[in-house]
C-alpha cells in the first residue's frame, strides 16, 4: 500500500496539471482601426494635423488615448476604436479645433467620416473567449467644397491587428 500511494499521488498531480489551461491572462483585445495622415501633395510623407479633435457621434464623446490628447497636434497615425455591436461607426475629424468664447460651439473645420464594416468573431481561448475582427472596411466622407480631407485610401480591408495603417487620409 505504501508503494501505491505515492504513485497515485503523482498520477493525480500530473492529470491535474495537464487539465489546466496554460494561459489564463487575456491581453488581446479587439483591434483598433489605424489611420495614417499624409501630405496630399507628397503622398509618401506623413503630415500631422494641428489642433486636432476627434469626436464620436455614436456616443457623443471626445477621443483621447495614451498617444493623443484632445486639440493637440495629431501623431503620424491614430488608433480609432470601432463599435463591436454594430456595422458602422461615425466620427467627426476636426482641424483647427477651438470653441467660440460666447456660444461654446465648435469653430474648427469639421469632416464627418462614416466607417462601415462587417464583424467577425475570432476564438482566443476558453478563458479569454472571443475577440472581434473587422472585414470589408469602407470609409465615406460626404463631398463638400470645405473638406480639409482631400482623399481617403483604404490600405487594408481587414482589421485583425493594430500593427499596420488601415486607412490613409490625405490633407
Instruction: Give the residues across from 151 on adjacent strands.
Output: 170
Query: Residue 135 domain-assigned?
Result: yes
Query: pLDDT averaged over the chain?
Result: 87
Instruction: Give pLDDT tens digits for 49-85.
Output: 988 999 999 998 998 887 788 888 888 889 999 999 9
Asked if residue 53 belongs to a domain, the reply is: yes
Is residue 38 one of the residues assigned to a domain?
yes
Q: Enter the C-alpha cell of residue 88.
A: 458602422
The count of domains in the chain is 1
Rounded CA separation 63/55 (Å): 6
Q: pLDDT band at 14, cuts 50/70/90?
A: low
Residue span of the structural domain in which 46 resides? 24-170
Tens of pLDDT, residue by residue over 134-171, are: 999 999 999 888 899 999 999 999 999 999 999 999 99
| Residue 28 forms part of a structural domain | yes
57: domain CATH number is 2.60.40
Check residue 136 and give its pLDDT.
97
Amino acid at each position: 500500500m505504501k508503494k501505491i500511494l505515492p504513485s497515485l499521488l503523482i498520477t493525480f498531480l500530473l492529470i491535474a496539471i495537464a487539465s489546466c489551461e496554460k494561459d489564463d491572462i487575456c491581453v488581446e483585445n479587439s483591434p483598433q482601426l489605424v489611420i495614417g495622415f499624409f501630405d496630399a501633395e507628397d503622398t509618401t510623407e506623413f503630415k500631422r494635423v494641428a489642433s486636432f479633435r476627434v469626436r464620436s457621434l455614436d456616443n457623443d464623446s471626445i477621443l483621447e488615448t495614451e498617444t493623443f490628447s484632445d486639440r493637440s497636434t495629431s501623431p503620424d497615425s491614430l488608433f480609432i476604436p470601432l463599435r463591436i455591436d454594430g456595422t458602422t461607426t461615425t466620427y467627426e475629424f476636426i482641424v483647427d479645433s477651438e470653441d467660440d468664447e460666447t456660444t461654446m460651439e465648435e469653430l474648427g473645420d469639421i469632416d464627418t467620416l462614416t466607417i462601415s464594416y462587417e464583424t467577425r468573431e475570432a476564438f482566443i481561448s476558453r478563458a479569454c473567449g472571443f475577440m472581434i475582427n473587422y472585414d470589408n472596411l469602407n470609409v465615406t466622407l460626404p463631398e463638400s467644397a470645405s473638406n480639409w480631407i482631400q482623399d481617403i485610401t483604404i490600405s487594408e480591408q481587414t482589421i485583425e491587428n493594430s500593427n499596420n495603417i488601415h486607412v490613409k487620409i490625405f490633407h
